[in-house]
Amino acid sequence: MTSFDLGETIKFIFVDDGNGEMTVVEMLNYMFFHGTYYLGTVGWRVSECGAVLSKDVLTVLLKDHND
């Protein structure tokens, strides 16, 4: 992927049939930040219920995988 590719516009249709468009960089940022927001929220709610969370930190998962 080149820096030119990151500026390419992706056109899409929302589930409610509305039109949308984002650049590749905007789409990647959206997916990253949207996903981390929900991961953090779910983790907080699960721990508030007293449950033990599974490992979901990438560096921990990679360490365990490589040990």
Rounded to the nearest 5°, which phi and psi values hold at 41?
Answer: -65, -45
What is the pLDDT at residue 14? 87
Strand partners, 21: 11
Confidence of residue 25 (pLDDT cuts 50, 70, 90): very high
Rounded to the nearest 5°, which phi and psi values hold at 32?
Answer: -65, -55
Rounded to the nearest 5°, which phi and psi values hold at 8?
Answer: -65, 140
Q: Which residue has the higher pLDDT, 43 or 26?
A: 26
CA dihedral 51, 64, 37, 8 (to 10 degrees): -160
Dist CA 21 CA 9 (whole Å): 7
What is the pLDDT at residue 31? 83
